[in-house]
Amino acid sequence: MPTDELSHIGLTDILPHRGTMLLIDDIVEVDKESALVSSRIGKNSPLSGKSGVQPLLMVELAAQAAGVCNGLDRIRSKGLDSDQSGWLVGVKRAQFYVELLPFGSVIVTRSENRHSFGNLREVFCSLSMDEKLIGEVTLQLFQVEDEDI
């Protein structure tokens, strides 16, 4: 997505998360099928302990990265003021290669829609820290349409 197209759209327009549950700090790049985002691990991050954050947080980082490209797809097709109730997310597979996410570290998450059928998507995400792969997560996303409620 061109940068000028993103200039009037904020993260809270794309994702339903607020406060400490909004984990993404920056959208690096995004298109219809993928997103690259960055997140700084803070002491107020969910799942934080004395010296860092549990790697399970990478599942939520992956889900929010997936939400960026799929949320922008919603904005493109339905408009900026459309319902952003989010997606139901199932974890198909998650593999973590670190035991802790240190405070202050920047996690870069790349999400890619691998399969799409109607309101169902399978998304593969890779997470890295200091250019080293630290996790891989495959998600299944489903979005309920207004008429389904």
Q: What CA–CA distance (Å, rounded) separates 65 from 122?
A: 13
Task: Give the pLDDT score at 5.
Answer: 56
Range with lowest mean pLDDT among 16-30, 37-51, 93-107, 111-125 = 16-30
> Which residues, including other chains, have CB under 8 Å from residue 61's CB and lie 6 or more apart?
23, 24, 39, 107, 109, 125, 127
- Kindly tell me if the per-residue pLDDT of 72 is higher than 80: no
Range with lowest mean pLDDT among 43-57, 67-81, 95-109, 131-145 = 67-81
pTM (two decimals)? 0.87
Give the domain ranges of the chain.
3-148
- Kindly tell me if the per-residue pLDDT of 7 is higher than 90: no
Contact 111, 69 (CB under 8 A): yes
Higher pLDDT, 83 or 28: 28
> CA 69 from chain center: how many Å?
8
Strand, helix or coil for residue 61: helix
> CA 66 from chain center: how many Å?
4
- Kindly tell me if the per-residue pLDDT of 37 is higher than 70: yes
- Kindly tell me if the per-residue pLDDT of 3 is higher than 60: no
For the segment 35-53, the average pLDDT, to the nearest whole number, is: 95
Q: What CA–CA distance (Å, rounded) separates 62 from 38?
A: 11
83-140 pLDDT tens trace: 666 678 899 999 999 999 999 999 999 999 999 888 899 999 999 999 999 999 999 9
Calculate the average pLDDT of the chain.
Answer: 87
Specify the CATH architecture of the domain 3-148.
Roll (3.10)
